[in-house]
Structure 1
């Protein structure tokens, strides 16, 4: 029985290898067939489900991506790609909050493994998109509710002053109690919508090269803070010097700017619209 089991596992692995070859050649249909055969032989191997989900991802067949990535994660919840693909499928369904959770799980797994996987950038991009879309959806709802409440309050205030005979403006054109209360009401509701009103992100929270909000800020010996990935690219392709001060600079001299990172996280928590990508 053991030999028979080993034989089945070997056949499944051969189908996976063949599927990988087809995938590299963009023969997605053939790759799906190979992974499907591998799954039929060994349904408890997470990577087979994961590979087939990736094929569906390339085809944008989101329902199938969700189904296969869920099956893969049920077998192995530490699959970074599994959470990324599931999040992408949920994002397509506009289930933003659930998508955000999956993308954050993927990033946390990479972080806990101290991985420098290039996939981290892709995950951050879709996470930012999901958070912005989630803010946009709820912001629209909040603005509508606030506007409805404002109109109801104005109507109630007008009715109150009409019944009390204080609705007419003073003859000298000066403000009366009714107009003052309407003005105060408008100010209150204007402040209530400030958090949902996009403005320019403060300069100190943005990289001096990209002018985008920081994700992984590092500070140089010259005291200038940059986005790590962007600065590393500068050092590699342009030269070993600080882009602003022109002082000599090597990678080992970079220090994480934890204060700015915490400030960015606090700002994004209060202003989710800032996740909007440039």
Structure 2
């Protein structure tokens, strides 16, 4: 058989194996699906979807090491694979590598939005990214709180020791020394209370939230009327309700929507400073 014919035959067989694997997967027969995808990979190792399909099976089995291996191979073959970056991000989070996991989830989100902003996968990726960012914040916040508390206790102890030393060296000014020490302790309390405020949840500013979803803007777009909406939400409105701005009632078409980069940057800046806001429940 000629090399070209052999390659075509292998490609055809691999595609059939992929379809078989998909059938097994739909029936929750993940072991059989893995075997089918593995055979497809053996025949055609340079097809990214075979690797991501097998990674999805490993994910169902919570075998995150193999998920990571398959996704990294898929990304080598296609750096724009949404599923590969998404599942790699999840695998890295399982190892508590938050920074790297978030990086891949963000990559998957950007790629997904570019391909189909209304797809279920974009929302799913965003939810996982928000969870990851919240876990990252929670980890850092706990560490920060512990460090602040330790530092506060050390400062309080130093002030009390200084007070005792002053008392032993002073005659007739005990009340003045005691009052000074109390004032210093009160000032110290205020300083550390202020330092801890960044980790305390507050209200999210209204201008950072979509008037349709009532949630943070993820992909904000602005209409000719000057109103900003979440892209999937306004697209759904235009498709199902009518071609008009929901608030101003002015005529509106999809092509008139423009990314609101200023709001997107403002949301990101707020989230970077207040990681607690990533909490989705």
Name the residue aligned to 1:255. Answer: 258
In the alignment, the residues of structure 2 paired with residue 48 and residue 169 of structure 1 have an alpha-carbon distance, to the nearest angstrom, of 80
SS in 2 for 1:212: coil
CA contact (8 A) 2:130 2:279 kept: yes
In the alignment, the residues of structure 2 paired with residue 208 and residue 80 of structure 1 have an alpha-carbon distance, to the nearest angstrom, of 29
SS in 1 for 2:210: coil
In the alignment, the residues of structure 1 paired with residue 241 and residue 70 of structure 2 have an alpha-carbon distance, to the nearest angstrom, of 43
Relative to structure 1, is the Cα distance of residues 231 and 149 closer, same or farther in structure 2, using a 3 angstrom cutoff? same
Name the residue aligned to 1:148. Answer: 150
Q: What are the Cα deviations for residues 180-205 of structure 1, in whole angstroms up to 9, with x where unaligned?
A: 11111111111211221111111111
Name the residue aligned to 1:135. Answer: 137
Moved more, 16-25 or 210-219: 16-25
- Of 167, 191, 195, the residue aligned with 2:194 is 191
Moved more, 92-101 or 17-26: 17-26
Consecutive unaligned residues of structure 2, counting only runs of 5 or more, are: none
- Of 57, 68, 71, the residue aligned with 2:70 is 68
Q: How far 1:257 sits from its partner (Å)?
A: 2.4
Two-structure CA RMSD over aligned residues (Å): 2.7
Q: Does 1:16 align with 2:18?
A: yes
Name the residue aligned to 1:181. Answer: 184
SS in 1 for 2:115: coil
Q: Summarize the alignment of residues 45-56 of structure 1 with structure 2, pairs less than 5 Å apart.
A: 45-56=47-58
CA contact (8 A) 2:34 2:57 kept: yes
SS in 2 for 1:239: coil
Q: Does 1:105 align with 2:99?
A: no
Consecutive unaligned residues of structure 1, counting only runs of 5 or more, are: none
Q: Summarize the alignment of residues 225-264 of structure 1 with structure 2, pairs less than 5 Å apart.
A: 225-264=228-267
Length, aligned pairs only: 274
Name the residue aligned to 2:211. Answer: 208
- Of 84, 93, 96, the residue aligned with 2:95 is 93
Q: How far 1:99 sits from its partner (Å)?
A: 0.8
Q: How far 1:41 sits from its partner (Å)?
A: 3.0
